[in-house]
Each structure stands twice: as C-alpha cells, then as structure tokens.
Chain A
Amino acid sequence: MSRLVTDVMFHQFLSIIRRQRSSPRWQNWSLARSSASAAKAHSVTLPAQAQVVICGGGIMGTSVAYHLSKMGWKDIVLLEQGRLAAGSTRFCAGILSTARHLTIEQKMADYSNKLYQQLEQETGIQTGYVRTGSVFLAQTQDRLISLKRVNSRLNVIGIPSEIISPKKVAELHPFLNMHDLVGAMHVPEDAVVSSADVALALASAASQNGVQIYDRTSVLHVMVKKGQVTGVETDKGQIECQYFVNCAGQWAYELGLSNEEPVSIPLHACEHFYLLTRPLETPLQNNTPTIVDPDGRIYIRNWQGGILSGGFEKNPKPIFTEGKNQLEIQNLQEDWDHFEPLLSSLLRRMPELETLEIMKLVNCPETFTPDMRCIMGESPVVRGYFVLAGMNSAGLSFGGGAGKYLAEWIIHGYPSENVWELDLKRFGALQSSRTFLRHRVMEVMPLIYDLKVPRWDFQTGRQLRTSPLYDRLDAQGARWMEKHGFERPKYFVPPDKDLLSLEQSKTFYKPDWFDIVESEVKCCKEAVCVIDMSSFTKFEITSTGGQALEVLQFLFSNDLDVPVGHIVHTGMLNEAGGYENDCSIARLSKRSFFMISPTDQQVHCWAWLRNHMPEDSNLVLEDVTWKYTALNLIGPRAVDVLSELSYAPMTPDHFPTLFCKEMSVGYANGIRVMSMTHTGEPGFMLYIPIEYALHVYNEVMNVGQKYGIRNAGYYALRSLRIEKFFAFWGQDLNTLTTPLECGRESRVKLEKGLDFMGRDALLLQKQNGVYKRFTMFILEDHDTDLDLWPWWGEPIYRNGQYVGQTTSSAYSYSLERHVCLGFVHNFSEDTGEEQVVTADFINRGEYEIDIAGCRFQAKAKLYPIASLFTHKRRKEDVELSDLHGK
C-alpha cells in the first residue's frame, strides 16, 4: 500500500528514528513497522502524471526534491520503495567532511555543510547538527604533503583549515595517541549530523513546497519513447512524467538496467563496517572533533557520549553483484574478524578505549564507482533520465551540493559549476559489466584512504580495450595507463633499466621515469617517435546532400566550409559559449567529415551530436573509433619515414600542415595521413584501418630505424603539448570555458556572419571582456630534483592575491622548467566579485604557484606565445594550441 507522506508523518518517522537510535538495539525495526502500519489510513493512489518523478527517498532523492521545489518546480513526485531515509542514509556514520580532493567535491560538501546547518531553523526538524571540526592525521611525510595540498585548496575556496603539529592534535582530542604522527590538518567547520534526520527535514521542506512523497512504492522500470522519458511504471500504477531522477543508491545500477533501453550506471556496493560503543565514563563531549586516520584506515567520531568508528579496509567485501538478493541482505551481519585490523588500528590510535564497552558492529553497504567519483547527470541514451548516485561513502557530505547541481541541471539544462568529473557520460556501457565493477570497487574502496599521488592508474579492470599493437608494444617495455577502458602507453622502459615497484613508485616528487621520458621527448625533437594514439574518439559524419556541412557549421564554432582535405581545429560549444568538446575535423569530401575528439568524449560527444542533429535519414553519424588504429609520427624525420614508405613527396609544398590525405603506406592502402601531431611538433597522424595496423607499424619501425625511430608514450606527448601551451579538454577546458577565455578567437567564425551555437554568448563576451584567462606559468625557482612537483589544482597567486587554480602541469625538457597551465581570475578586493581580466592585468602581475603550501615564483605567458623557443618552428604558428593530450 503506497502512502502519501504528509507532514504529520514526518514527525512519526522522526519519532521512529529517534526511538531506534535511543533503543539499545540499533536495528530494531519492529517498532517502526507497527507505527507505520498505523498510518495506513493515509494510503492514496498515485497521481496520473507529474513533471518530475524521483526514485529514492534517501538523502540524494530528498535533496533533489528539496532543491527542485526551492527553485520553483512544484509538480514533483518522490517514490521510495521502503520508508524514507531507510537505506544507506539511515546507517550513514553522519560525518560531514569538506576535505575532498576535487574542487567540485569541496564545493558540494561546503554547500551541504551550510545547508544542513540552517535546516533545523528552516524546517523545525532537529538534525543533530553539531559543528565538531575534523582532524586528519598524517603518520608519514607523504601523507602530510597530501594533506597540505588539500589544505591550500580548501583555503582558497573559503573553507578554513590549517596544518597543525602533533602536539596541537593532542589538545584537540582527549585521548589520542600522537606519538607516531608527523602532523595533521584541522578543518574546524566540519560537522556531524544525523543523516536520516537531514533527509527527513529535506523531505519535509520539499513536501511543504508541494512535492508529493510516496513511500512503499517501487519503481519497476522507466517508460521511454523515442529516446525520451515518458513515464514510470511502479508496483502501484503508472505515472506519466517528463523527467525521471534515479537516486536509488546501490540499486541504481539495477534500476538503470531494468529499462527497455538500458541506462548504464556503473556502481557496485561493498560491505562497510563501523563500531558503536556505549558512552565513556565521562561521556565524550558532543563537539569532540572527528578524527580521520587515513594511514590507519579509520575514522572516529563522538557518538552519544561514546564513539563511532569505522574504516575502509584493504580487503573489501563486494556485495549484491548479482543484484538485489534477499540472501545477502539477511547475511549482512557483523563480521568481527573482518573488522579486526580496523579495531586494532583504533586501539593503537586511542589505547585508552580498551575498556570501552561495545554496543554494536554495524554493517551498512556503501556504493562505489569505477573512479571513486560520484555519478550525476543525464543519461546519454534517454533524454530526461537523470541520475544521482554512487557516492563512494560521502553521500552525506555531497548530498546538499549534489542535489543542488542536479536540480539546476534539470531546470536549466546545465549546472552552475563544471561537473564533468562527475558526469554520468564519462562512462559508457563498457564500464557496466558486473565482473568489472566487482573487481574495480575492490580497488576503489581501499583507495579512499590510500595515498593519492599524481599519475595513479587503476590496476583492476584493465586490458579491456586495446590497440592491435598492444602485445607488440608491451613486449618492447611499454608501461600502460587506462582511459575510458583503453590501454595507452605511458612510456617505454628500456631493457637495461629497472623501475621501482608500483608501491614504491608513489611519490609527490620527481618520478622514477623522468629520464626515460626525457629521452623520448628528445627523440621527438631531434629524430622521430611513434606513439600509439588509437584511443581517440573518432566519428564520421556524412550526408547525401549538404546537410552534414550545414549541421556541423551550426554545432561547431570554427568555419568548416574549407576545401576538401583540410583539417580544422574547432570547439563544439554550448549556448553559453563553453566547450562541450574540443576536436579536430577533417573534411574528407564535400559531404563527409572525420572528427577526432578526446578518448573520454565517446559517450558525451555522441549524445550531444545525437540530441542536436535534426532527424534526417540522409544524415549519418557513425562511431568509427574501433575501425582505426592511430599512430602519431612525431619529429623532424617523420617526413622522411613517410615519404620513403609511400613514394610520395611529403614536403610542405605537397603536403601542407593541417592537411589530410588518403594514401598508401607500405603495402597498405587507404591510410588517412594527417599533417598534425597534437603537440606542435612537426609530424603526421596516421589513421590506419585496424587490419593494416601491424603491417604499417612494422614498416614504419623498419624504415624508421635509420632515422633513429623509437616508441614513445603519452607522458612525452603531454610534456610536449603543455610546453607549447596546448589546452586539453576535460582538464584545462570544460563546459564553462569559452574560446575567448583561452585566446582562441582565431578559431571562431564570429566575423563570418554564420550562426552557430554559442555565438551570441561569445559576441557578448567579446563586447564585455572575459572574466578569466587561460595562462601559462613557467616556474622560476623550482628545483626539479628536490621540490614537490606541481600536479593540478594548485592555487595561483598574483601579487599575493589568490586568482585561480592550475589545471594541468608538466616538466618541459626543452625549457628545463616546470610549466603549469591555469585560469587567472580577477576578484575584486572589496567584494570578491569577478571582474574583467585584460591581457594587461595578466602581464602586470607577479605570480606564485602554491604547491602543498610552498610558493614558487612563476612567469606568466598569455596565449598565443611567440618567443619561448629560440628556434622557431615552421608549424608553430599554424598548429599552436591544438587540442591535445586527449
């Protein structure tokens, strides 16, 4: 029997939860059931239609409902299969922590913190919010560096935090053993809160704003017509709707698959344990700070005078791989033996707790995603199908902010912040294998407390997509990284060289592969290198008439009406002029185009094009990623290798830059040769039909021998493109950055009189000026051997004032300096408001980059750079600032 949850009932729910919490047996639900059945009188039938249907009455669902209704949408139905706030939300440890690794995550947590703080006042429902602060302990120097990095980034977005000494830690917490600590980070405004109460308060506020909430109603599947949500089928009947929001937590994966057209939401649950104790003899103050000891893999908070302590163990127990399963739900019991390492860790940290009495070991499954970042956004296959799930144990911290961004997304079509790192479309169907998810989350869960060092690659779920040359390259010493399931070479270890083992190679300093990449870069500059870049997303757009050109001219910012054979670098902009994608498009014929985009654009770009292309059977969009192996021949001798293999003149007169031609290489015909390298170095990209890949590779290597050819990897490519100031979509560029902000006005056809997406926004921006500028920084007093290396996300200071964060960095072997790229803002000193950033503003500043609390002087360069390199190259002007690194 479904019930419309009314105001009265929130208080009923509350009393249930309260009783439960005070009752010695945490999981005692018999009380809850009886009072729930008393409420049957309220049962009503579901409405026949609604604008939005939200599935899931946990903190995510209620937060989305709350924010949607706040923003003025009223016709909303929230469905919960059991009772409100009864899933992971009920068992959540209730720690709100803003110390996150991504800026977007920090912002979400910060917003949640502020929201929860005033929620009690707003709704009259007690949320148990107490500002306790939290302390992150470092047992090692490396951990301290990691904390310092987080610390400097928290400060610049306005969250107070500081690095403190072990002695200070002891002052903050009564019985903490601090003898093995090297330092800690204190975040005083972090809080604890009852997550179930927060969810109920959000639901109550939403319900007052007109949201209808029904519990004990299960969504069976979502009805879709022509790729658009049309309604929801529940066990209590159908509801027609325009938007559906999947906030089903650990069941979100199953729910996504239940569709006729499955929506792949890659997440997987693992068991998670925490311990509850009875109060101490002198009960612990309720404002005692939360302790996080990542090296000990545990967190400890005060809880009703006692403590609540859990952690993320090295050997997680994945659960529900085969879907919802009554057996496993019943088996969710305490597993003390499994908890032992965490208990030992707790008692090492707080030896005095030995005599504390145990109350319960709680087992509450948490959901994890393949990259440890949450999942939000619209499905690439079904319009109107939104998802917010996969919180990696940070649901409470993210709940408020994530709900807000998703509500904005639904209402405006995009959120107010760049959330690409969390976007559902960063994944595709390829990440939705149960086996893959099961294996990957076993790596992800421990990673929550593992040291997060630069350039970390996941070890599980690998070798899924590979180039046909994989074995060949592997045998030659390739070390691999993975992007969107595709294996890409990082660098090639020479036979006589030994690298450190995986665990030992973790460092914030100069990495062990430094010399290897140096020799690869040198070879790119002086001879020729070959890099397998097959992972790039490749689309072909063809039409019978002029439709292809017409559509592309509207969707892309640069002029594509170029002679056949030319390649155009162009952005795919949204209405606001921001980059949805940054790509290179070759015009193969009058009516067909070949489009190359970054690897992880495969799903996003496809969905974008599909949604914006007219329904026209004469217009064909095809994903040909799998059809071509891409080899990048970089270096001054590339031209010699290729002309020898093709008996065709490859000189600039015959083969100008940014030109594309189908030709034969070796015995193989039909190779698409493009005169660009994505690095600013001279050379060619070869797009080879996969069956020829091995042949062409062998031929290139054979012929190349006398020109000194060797394999190279992405690290070399990255160093080359960053020192040439080439921006990279997904890292430097995102949906909120426009071409004007990164000095790419020349790549926009503003003057051509053609309409295209984002044109109005760009025109306005041109008139008003830009509020941030993409800038290159060359570190001046940085010692590569001894100082911490920049990564990304380092704060940038101009004349001592914070002006922005770096987006990527690399060591430039030719400048012998580190190069960072990032956006510079101009915050008003009085109001903090953003002001126009002029070239003059950039040029007249003194800059510093803050790496883990250490500031390094930096020289700023604006795009386009002219005289960084004394020996100027032929191609530089033309190909400068290509998209790269993809």
Chain B
Amino acid sequence: MSSTMSYWISTSARSCIATLQGGRRLYSRCVSKRNLSIWRRLSWASSPLQNSSPCGTFTLQKVYRHTSTEEEDFHLQLSPEQVNEVLRAGESAHKILDLDSRVPNSVLRFESNQLAANSPVEDRRGVAACLQTSGLMFGVFDGHGGHACAQAVSERLFYYVAVSLMSHQTLEQMEGAMENMKPMLPILQWLKHPGDSVYKDITSVHLEHLRVYWQELLDLHMEMGLSIEEALMYSFQRLDSDISLEVQAPLEDEATKNLSLQVAFSGATACMAHVNGVHLHVANAGDCRAILGVQGDNGMWSCLPLTHDHNAWNEAELSRLKREHPETEDRTIVIDDRLLGVLMPCRAFGDVQLKWSKELQRSVLERGFDTEALNIYQFTPSHYYTPPYLTAKPEITYHRLRPQDKFLVLASDGLWDMLGNEDVVRLVVGYLSEAGRHKPDLAQRPTKLGLMQSLLLQRKASGLYAADQNAATHLIRHAIGSNEYGEMEPERLAAMLTLPEDLARMYRDDITVTVVYFNSEIIDAYYRGD
C-alpha cells in the first residue's frame, strides 16, 4: 500500500504541471502588501563570501550569550510594565470548547506567543480544528530568507492535511460543490491571534491546487481517507512540490507570480501536531521541536521529546544525506555544520536553490522576473552536484496520550537555542503552579509592614512575581532573560527587548511557542471506557 502511495505521489507531482496548464485558473489579484514589500536576502545567497567564514549570521545563532560590556551599550531601559507589554503583544490563548460533544476533547486549552527578532518576523504559527474530520492541528513554522515561505506553509499545510484525512464521500461532496459553483463544506476553523498576519482563506490559485490534490485522492477510491501518518507524510511533500511547481508554471498575474517566486526561493521548517482523542501525531521537518511534559505517578516531571532536530548534529540525518548522495560527496555535503555549508536545517519547505538543478533555476529566473526588485539571485553553493539536497519529507511520531501526559510544547528553534527540554518543562510546571493561584510565595510571610514592603519591592524589582498569564510568554521571558545559571535578570531581559532592529537578530532568533494542555480526565476516561 505505502509503496503504491509513494509512487502515486511522485507521478502526480509530475502530472501537476499539465493539470495546471489545462485547468481554468482564477488568479487572485489580492496579494497582501506585506508579502511584496520586504524580501529579505537570504544571507547565504546574497553574500557568498560568508559561506566560508564561520561568522556568517547563521552561526551567530549559537552565540547569543550576552556579556556585561554590551549591556552598557543600551541605555534605553524599559520599565517592567513596558517589558510585559512587549512580551505579551503576541499572546493568544483559547479554551477548547466541546463543539463536537460526541468525542470529548482531550485538549483543554492552548496558549501561544511569538516574539520577533527579524523585522518583519519570519516565524509563523497556526492552530485549526478539522471540521470534516475530528482533531485539532497545531503548527509552528520557522521561515528563513524571508517570511514568504513560512507564511505560505502556515496558510496551506493544514488544508492539505485536512483534505487527506477526508473520507471518499466528503471529497466527493467537495468536488461536487466546486463543480456546481456551490458553497464548499468548510474545511478548517482557524483559531487565530488577532495580530497574526492574515491567513487568507485559500486564494483561488491555491484552491485550484488543493482541488487537484483531492481529485487525485478521489481517483484512489479509498473509502476512509488516508491514515494520519500517511496524510501528514503526503501533505508535507505534496505542498512542497506544489510550491516548487507553481513557480515553474506560467502565471499571468504579476503579483501572484512574484509571490510564488518569493515562496519558492525562501524556506521554512515546520513542525505540526495532530491531536484526536488520545492519538497524537507529530510531523516534523527541520529544527523546530515538540516535547511532552509528563508527570509520573510519583509526581515527578519529565520530558518526552517527540521530534528529532534535522540538522548537522543529528547522526541519523547525516547518514541519510550520505546515503542519498554519491560517496564522493561525503565530505562536502555538510560543511561547518551546515548543509552544503549554507543551511542549518537539513529538511525544509521551499529553498529551491537546494532542490532544483542549476539549469532549472536558471531557466526559471530568466523568465522575466524582476529578480532585482525581489532581491532574488541565482546562487549555487559549491559542491552542488546531485540535487535535490533538501527535502520536506517529515519525520512522523505517533504517541498514544496517557493520563500522565499533561502538556505539549511546540516551538521554533529560537526557544530551543536558549532553553533545554528539561528547562522548558520545569518552567511550564512552575508557571502552572504559580498561575493557578497567583498567590505570592510568601510562605514565611513577614509579619511587619516594613519587612513586607521591602520583600515586595524586591520581588517587583526581580520581576519574580508571576506576571505571566500565558505559559508561552513565561517561556519566552525566561529564554531571553535568563543568565548562564538559569536565573532571571530583569536588566538583561529589558536590554534584550530594546535591541535595535538590526542588532536583535544577532542576539536572539524569532521565537514562537505554543503550549497545548491536555485534559487528563478525558484521557483517563478514554482508557477506562476501553
């Protein structure tokens, strides 16, 4: 079965161009300004000199540690209130209501936050409920070389997954609706943060491609839809191939054309979780990470990683790369801990510079794009012999939720660069015990007013009291505000937040965190019901 499926994926990807050319196209003319305005250079694409030098911007990721001499450079101090304001700007939180009472929801609520280092931010996040099948999806997308690809993936990936999971009958209804120009069944319900960049409800081009995908699914005549593993696997790869093919297909509309070029020539790693009852699936491509916070019977907390980072420190990835390319390239495929010396993650969406042949890149770029204005240059890394070097094929983990699994943390590498898995679990647990009561930890409460005041002032100065109403904010606060010993330093936090735009990226990366809390009672009931 699965071998026929992979064959089908590759053949359908090839047939895609033909379908595109033949199909009736409805190009959207409405492209948000954001996507057009700023195309940040891929640092490795625009300045090849940096490839050989270890001090390119990417390597700085690991050198964020803040030293005292630098602190003096930032005179602008933020008050604790202002710090909180900055930190909380990206907060969002939702309680998951039992919309569908047939299946009690194992997700209690989620809390999410995002802090930008790039301007504009290159991380994206998404949370949506599948409306035609059951389940909630959470995603974190870390863009590089601009935000276009991350934006596109965050907008589109969940649709592919949702469609893959649909039963044959539902797909037929969808197709019927499209054919007869009737209103379509709703596919997703997004749970957005008001500040998140607009998730366009699928534009018509994207819808066309999605339709092609489900038409092919229909042709498979599978009664029940794909399994979740298959759905995730194919959705990732299908979306990546669509992104790659869209830019090759002749598009008439200038705006759409430029956008798809930007999407294809930038990249994004993605990590998403699908939760349905006790079934948790995590699909990961790149260096975002998902971990579970587990509370054992003895009350002790531990951490269960659900993904592996796909980068040069991952032995399995190294051997995969070596296996996929001729032996002669063994020494050149990873240089300075980077794929071909340029890219940190070794799986990602987009980044066609590492997927297409040189000829294809040239021919596409020569097709009259205003590449200068878009700031896209053809760039071929050295030792570029047997593309593709990069894949969006995800690694999929299945975990059957147990009552002791309390929460899931999905975050971009911006967080994991600063905090270890155990730190993250510890902080969320700390946050939970503080937030529940918001009671000052004044166990040995001073009995005199004066002593109480000085204690309170100390607590205020150290920002210790749980100002955070959101675990994601709490994590971000500690990620950028903790010193080498894991202690909170308010001055450091304020300094990190006042960094000028152009410097911020040198000290910290975009950070996106989503914390999903599970409802242990429901999970417990599920087992007892079994």
Measuring CB to CB, which residues of chain A are less than 8 angstroms from any residue of chain B?
A: 275, 277, 331, 333-337, 339-340, 343-344, 346-347, 353-358
Chain B residues near A346 (CB-CB < 8 A): 449
B456 touches A340 (CB 8 A): yes
Chain B residues near A334 (CB-CB < 8 A): 439-440
Ordered by A's residue number, 26 sampled pairs between the chains whose C-beta atoms are within 8 Å are: A331-B437, A333-B437, A333-B439, A334-B439, A334-B440, A335-B438, A335-B440, A336-B440, A336-B456, A337-B456, A337-B465, A339-B456, A340-B453, A343-B449, A343-B456, A344-B457, A347-B450, A347-B453, A353-B450, A354-B448, A354-B449, A354-B450, A355-B449, A357-B448, A358-B446, A358-B448
B467 to chain A: closest CB distance in Å?
Answer: 9
B449 touches A356 (CB 8 A): yes
A158 to chain B: closest CB distance in Å?
Answer: 39
Q: Answer yes or no: B323 CB below 8 A from chain A CBs.
A: no
A344 to B445, CA, bound (A): 17
B449 touches A347 (CB 8 A): yes
Q: Answer yes or no: B452 CB below 8 A from chain A CBs.
A: yes
A346 to B459, CA, bound (A): 18
B431 to chain A: closest CB distance in Å?
Answer: 16
Measuring CB to CB, which residues of chain B are less than 8 angstroms from any residue of chain A?
A: 437-440, 442, 445-450, 452-453, 456-457, 459-460, 465
Chain A residues near B449 (CB-CB < 8 A): 275, 277, 343, 346-347, 353-358
Chain B residues near A353 (CB-CB < 8 A): 449-450
Chain A residues near B440 (CB-CB < 8 A): 334-337
A354 to B437, CA, bound (A): 28
Given contacts A335-B438, A340-B453, A358-B448, 5 further A-B contacts (CB under 8 A): A333-B438, A336-B442, A336-B452, A337-B460, A347-B453
A353 to B465, CA, bound (A): 25
A155 to chain B: closest CB distance in Å?
Answer: 37
Chain A residues near B439 (CB-CB < 8 A): 333-335
A531 to B406, CA, bound (A): 61
Chain A residues near B447 (CB-CB < 8 A): 357-358
Q: Which of B437, B445, B446, B460 contacts A340 (CB 8 A)?
A: B460
B452 to chain A: closest CB distance in Å?
Answer: 6
A358 to B447, CA, bound (A): 5
A68 to B438, CA, bound (A): 45
Chain A residues near B448 (CB-CB < 8 A): 354-358
A344: nearest residue on chain B (CB-CB)?
B453
A331 to B438, CA, bound (A): 9
A343 to chain B: closest CB distance in Å?
Answer: 5
A335 to B441, CA, bound (A): 10
A356 to B449, CA, bound (A): 6
A331 to B450, CA, bound (A): 26
B460: nearest residue on chain A (CB-CB)?
A340
A343 to B453, CA, bound (A): 7
**7 nearest CB pairs, A to B:** A354-B450, A340-B456, A337-B465, A336-B440, A357-B447, A356-B449, A343-B453
A355 touches B452 (CB 8 A): no
B97 to chain A: closest CB distance in Å?
Answer: 13
B457 to chain A: closest CB distance in Å?
Answer: 7
Chain B residues near A331 (CB-CB < 8 A): 437-438
Chain A residues near B452 (CB-CB < 8 A): 336, 343, 358
Chain B residues near A355 (CB-CB < 8 A): 448-450
A333: nearest residue on chain B (CB-CB)?
B439
B88 to chain A: closest CB distance in Å?
Answer: 14
Chain A residues near B460 (CB-CB < 8 A): 337, 340
B447: nearest residue on chain A (CB-CB)?
A357
Chain A residues near B450 (CB-CB < 8 A): 347, 353-355
A340 to B442, CA, bound (A): 13
Chain B residues near A340 (CB-CB < 8 A): 453, 456-457, 460
B208 to chain A: closest CB distance in Å?
Answer: 38
A307: nearest residue on chain B (CB-CB)?
B449
A355 to B450, CA, bound (A): 6
A337 to B445, CA, bound (A): 13
A376 to chain B: closest CB distance in Å?
Answer: 35
Chain B residues near A347 (CB-CB < 8 A): 449-450, 453
Chain B residues near A275 (CB-CB < 8 A): 449
B451: nearest residue on chain A (CB-CB)?
A354
A771 to B297, CA, bound (A): 83
A339 to B456, CA, bound (A): 9
Chain B residues near A277 (CB-CB < 8 A): 449
A354 to B454, CA, bound (A): 10
B174 to chain A: closest CB distance in Å?
Answer: 37
A340 to B80, CA, bound (A): 14
B81 to chain A: closest CB distance in Å?
Answer: 8
A340 to chain B: closest CB distance in Å?
Answer: 4
Q: Count chain B CB atoms within 10 A of each CB in A337, A344, A354, A356 and give the residue with the most.
A: A337
B438 touches A358 (CB 8 A): no
A340 to B460, CA, bound (A): 9
B459 touches A337 (CB 8 A): yes
B438: nearest residue on chain A (CB-CB)?
A335
A177 to B446, CA, bound (A): 24
Chain B residues near A333 (CB-CB < 8 A): 437-439
B75 to chain A: closest CB distance in Å?
Answer: 23
A134 to B342, CA, bound (A): 75
Q: Count chain A CB atoms within 10 A of each CB in B448, B449, B457, B465 and give the residue with the most.
A: B449
A404 to B452, CA, bound (A): 44
A579 to B460, CA, bound (A): 55
A336 to B460, CA, bound (A): 11
Chain A residues near B459 (CB-CB < 8 A): 337
B79 to chain A: closest CB distance in Å?
Answer: 13
A309: nearest residue on chain B (CB-CB)?
B449
Chain B residues near A339 (CB-CB < 8 A): 456
B462 to chain A: closest CB distance in Å?
Answer: 11
Chain A residues near B453 (CB-CB < 8 A): 340, 343-344, 347, 354
A335: nearest residue on chain B (CB-CB)?
B438
B464: nearest residue on chain A (CB-CB)?
A337
A335 to B467, CA, bound (A): 12
B490 to chain A: closest CB distance in Å?
Answer: 15
Chain B residues near A337 (CB-CB < 8 A): 440, 456, 459-460, 465
A136 to B459, CA, bound (A): 31
Chain A residues near B438 (CB-CB < 8 A): 331, 333, 335
A355 to B452, CA, bound (A): 10
A245 to chain B: closest CB distance in Å?
Answer: 36
B429 to chain A: closest CB distance in Å?
Answer: 20
B222 to chain A: closest CB distance in Å?
Answer: 45
A331 to B465, CA, bound (A): 17
A754 to B344, CA, bound (A): 93
A339 to B449, CA, bound (A): 12
A333 to chain B: closest CB distance in Å?
Answer: 6
Chain A residues near B465 (CB-CB < 8 A): 337
B85 to chain A: closest CB distance in Å?
Answer: 12
B518 to chain A: closest CB distance in Å?
Answer: 20
B465: nearest residue on chain A (CB-CB)?
A337
Chain B residues near A335 (CB-CB < 8 A): 438-440
A347 to B447, CA, bound (A): 15
A339 to B465, CA, bound (A): 13
A361 to chain B: closest CB distance in Å?
Answer: 9
A340 to B465, CA, bound (A): 12
B80 to chain A: closest CB distance in Å?
Answer: 11
A346 to B465, CA, bound (A): 21
A43 to chain B: closest CB distance in Å?
Answer: 37
B455: nearest residue on chain A (CB-CB)?
A336
Chain B residues near A356 (CB-CB < 8 A): 448-449
Chain A residues near B437 (CB-CB < 8 A): 331, 333
A336 to B453, CA, bound (A): 9
Chain B residues near A344 (CB-CB < 8 A): 453, 457
A723 to chain B: closest CB distance in Å?
Answer: 46
A347 to B446, CA, bound (A): 15
A879 to B449, CA, bound (A): 66
A439 to B449, CA, bound (A): 32
A353 to B439, CA, bound (A): 25
A277 to B446, CA, bound (A): 13
A277 to B449, CA, bound (A): 9
B92 to chain A: closest CB distance in Å?
Answer: 17
